[in-house]
Amino acid sequence: MSPSTVSAGGSRPAGYGQSCTNCSRAKCKCILAAAGDACERCSRLGKDCQPIVTARKKVAKRTAASRTAQLEEKLDDLVSILKNSQGHPAQEQQQHQQQHLQDQIAQHRQHLDYSHMQHVPHVPQQTRSQTAALDSLAQAATTERHNGAGMNRANVIDPNMASGHMQRDPTAEEADVHLAKFRTWLPGLPFLHLPSDMSAKALRMERPFLWLSIMNLASDSHSQQQFLRDKVRREMSERIIMNHERNMDIVQGLIANLGWATLNTGPGARPFVVLFSQLATLVIYEQGMMRPPNQEHFSSVGFKAWNMSTLTPKARTMDERRAVLSLWFLTSICNALTARTETLPWTSHMDESLSILERGDDQYLDAMLATIIKIQRICDEAHRLLMQDLLPNAPEKDIPTYLYKPSLLERLNTIKANLPPRFTNNYTIITHLVSTECQIHAIGLFSNQRIPETQSVGSMYQCLVCIRAFYDAFFSIPLGDIAGLPLHTYVALSTMQVMLYRLTISDNPNWDKEVVRQTADVMDIVDRTIELFEKVASVYPMRDQQVQGNLFQKGAKQMRNLRAMWQPIVSKHFGTMPTPTSQHNSASRAATEQPMLLDTMVDGEPIDFNDMSWMADIFGPWGDMQ
């Protein structure tokens, strides 16, 4: 103790908890006398100096039995959640619930065993009975119960979503399943070659971003997809923006997300099509993959003094050729879908890559990619001409757009004639071919151009034949393959749907309405599409669809809304429904003045048929792709 704390007479200040009762009550400093007499303040005031009585509260030590009771109470809550669920859960859902509860019980039991080893030398009989009680709780919680019809469905809580245990990367076994699933989807857009012996683990080590993108697309859980989708954005931002990485892993991962964009949407999804396509284009340009390898350095040599002969051009790999062509294809599709991005310019180096792909190592997939690209080049030109017809107040053209149709059809027929036999029944190729042909025939039909009447009606009929061929091919696709269809097939589906609708309500006096109805009834087509989506939802379920729904269930719902909107207009046009004169005139005016424009509302969302991106509004789950 320092000298300053002790008075001259030997007195000292009372320590913590040692002051007298009077000083403690008065909140004064208590100075104790050296001989143990009364403190200075009590002596001065003549008070009876009594030391304070201290009784510190002791916290009772928690026993293993109390911890067990708390854990059992937690399990009782889980049992109550299941009891409050209405109806009989599906077998698959019940298995997930049982597995989830068993995992939690195993963790609780492990915690109990560890606690007993730490605090109880010998496990008593009571603990064994408590463990048995946990087993009985598990059995009771996972037993199917029948609830009354009056239970509120809002009380149904999916244990997977409640626990959030799918907010994680897939396990090794799940990753292998997801990769195998993606392999079956790859022929729809074969932008890369996956060796048959490559495992998910090996792919993750070699191409981590591509692996993450595939896991995101192929996951069978909405909560896991949301977790992986956010992880894709974070990793993409860090690697491309922060670390300035430019490699094939990033390009292929972005192409995968774009190619199957319909599967990359859902609750909480943000627009990504334009963003991802522009980021992939950025990497492609900075890597110089749009030009031959010996021209990669031309852009930087103009103001630098070095000898070009010292630069050794690298060999262009097949992966790079596939990636550049696939990205061109996807930017063309995104341009048709969103009208917010431009198609990559076609270069002579792409022509070279296209010819190399046709005689590549992977004959089937590379030849298929080359065929898809060649068809899309024609489709891209047809789409540009079609959009020129629809631009409001567009200046008159020196050459009417419909005059380009013969040359485009000739190029498309050349592709048909040289189509390998193995592709003649391929639904990906067939749907792409007939949708492209339909767009070629539609050039000039929905504009103010003066087309000869015979040629106009002939083009309309050819459009109708192509639409029927498209739906024949589309409805022949195996049910299990529908969920894995790439984005461009759904874009073609939306294009054919709007074309059929416009042909159905056409006011051309020389157009036979009964021919339209007998060849392709638009209402029947919509009904079959709704039925197809509902079937796909049953064969491609999601683990947590009871909470967040199913992509194709929502698509079927939006198609029903579309049917309800189209039915009155089609009925009026065929004269099967009496309507007020004002409504009839309004419908006729909309059909004649704006043949490809119909602004309306579906579930509160505007639909503009002037933009082929109406699919994003009709099929609700895909509304966040742009």
Q: Domain segments of the chain: what residues?
A: 3-45, 65-163, 167-301+312-361, 477-626
pLDDT in tens, 294-352: 665 555 545 555 555 555 667 789 999 999 999 999 999 998 888 788 899 999 999 99
pLDDT in tens, 421-453: 889 899 999 999 999 999 999 998 877 778 888
pLDDT in tens, 14-26: 887 788 888 888 8
The helix/strand/coil state of 31 is strand
Averaged pLDDT for residues 160-181:
76
The helix/strand/coil state of 557 is helix
Instruction: Quickly state the pLDDT bin for 356 (edges 50, 70, 90).
Output: very high
pLDDT in tens, 206-222: 999 999 999 999 998 88
Q: What pTM, to 2 d.p., does this model score?
A: 0.67
Contact 599, 607 (CB under 8 A): yes
The strand pairing partners of 20, in sequence order, are 51
pLDDT in tens, 232-259: 999 999 999 999 999 999 999 999 999 9
pLDDT of residue 85: 52
pLDDT of residue 519: 92
Mean pLDDT of the chain: 76
pLDDT of residue 509: 87
pLDDT of residue 226: 87
Rg (Cα) of the chain, in Å, rounded?
36
pLDDT of residue 103: 58
Averaged pLDDT for residues 268-290:
87
Q: Which residue has the higher pLDDT, 56 or 217?
A: 217
Angle at the Cα of 263 (from 257 to 264), degrees rounded to 5?
A: 50
pLDDT in tens, 560-602: 999 999 999 998 887 754 434 334 443 343 333 333 333 333 3
Q: Of 568, 534, 559, 569, which is closest to residue 618 (Cα–Cα)?
A: 559
pLDDT of residue 84: 59
Q: Which two tokens stand for residue 254?
A: 């972005």
Residue with structure tokens 């029903």? 560
Q: Which two tokens stand for residue 259?
A: 């190619």
DSSP run (H or E) holding 568: helix 551-574
Averaged pLDDT for residues 142-164:
38
Q: Phi then psi for 341, rounded to 5 degrees?
A: -145, 155
High-pLDDT (> 90) share of the chain, %: 40
